[in-house]
Amino acid sequence: MTRPVPMVEILRGDLVESRHEGHAAIASADGRIAEAWGDPGTIILPRSSAKMLQALPLLESGAGAGLSTEQLALACASHSGERHHVILVNRWLADLGLDDNALLCGPQASRDHEHCLWMNRVGKEVTRVYNNCSGKHAGFLTLAKHLHAGLDYVDPEHPVQRAVRQAIEETCDEESPGFGIDGCSAPNFAVSLAGLARAMARIAAAGTSGDLRDVAMKRLVDAMIAHPHLVSGRGRACAALMDSANEPLAVKTGAEGVYVAILPERRLGLALKIADGATRASEVAMAALLARLGAISENHPLLNRDIRNWDGLFTGSVRPVAGFAMPRGG
């Protein structure tokens, strides 16, 4: 088994204080792993980076035929619980004849600082619709109702989750060895990092065959690219990377240091996992890989993030390790 490789370091002054290691893979549309760092065969829980795969049955079943691009972006999102996120998900639930109580994700405080302060000031209750996965769960509910199945849709044996597992295994081209329960209570099916990169490459290449899955993948990635601030939120890395990209780009974070990217014009998919689970490292490592490909600027702010102390003083930075994901020819 290949060890993880150094990817990101934290400097305090001129001293390297910490270093994060990880695995990464770039896959092409034919399923080939074009480049890899560390062990692309390592088994991971993709966490929220797999939301576009979890949303495939919603469209392949016909349940999502009339959904807007905003709803499809939210089905793939780890949103911030901003006011407009909550309004859109509540409207979706109302269209289903349901409300917040139907969501099986737990309540989560808004990650939007100003909105959170307003909620505290007026005494507004934190409900399940604020959960960053509420859009995904609205999609699960839409599919459950379409299948005339019960609304206990997070049960691993529920028809919704059986369809999700099948979609993940088919797009990753491998059998999942098992699952863990995610923070939102839904099962999260384990795959190899290479398999996850292959699935992202297949989404990147969508839009040519016209079959059911091809159309579903194209609708989802187009929705993500069109609505980066629904996929994440203000000031967050996913939106920042998509907003500043030099070409159409969809990126998606996952908990515990997972990150994926979809590059439709290049028909490439990227996946990475930081071994110690640090999000601060996965964001910088993904930015380094995208800069290497020319998809974002080599001077992107995520490639050298300031660290400041409680008094606002600059104390160090988070940056890629020298030699990791160097630009081609660099």
- Reference 300, options 271, 327, 260, 329; nearest CA is 327
Domain boundaries, position 125 = 5-320
Tell me if 327 is assigned to some domain.
no
Query: In total, how many domains does the chain have?
Result: 1
Tell me if 89 is assigned to some domain.
yes
Amino acid 227: pLDDT: 98
Tell me if 329 is assigned to some domain.
no
**For the chain, which ranges sit under pLDDT 50?**
329-330
Tokens read off for 286: 């993904």
Tell me if 328 is assigned to some domain.
no
Tell me if 210 is assigned to some domain.
yes
- Answer for the pair 150, 144: CB distance below 8 angstroms, yes or no: yes
Tell me if 325 is assigned to some domain.
no
Domain with 93 in it: what CATH number? 3.40.710
Amino acid 328: pLDDT: 52
Which residue shows structure tokens 């770039």?
26
- Answer for the pair 104, 185: CB distance below 8 angstroms, yes or no: yes
Tell me if 326 is assigned to some domain.
no
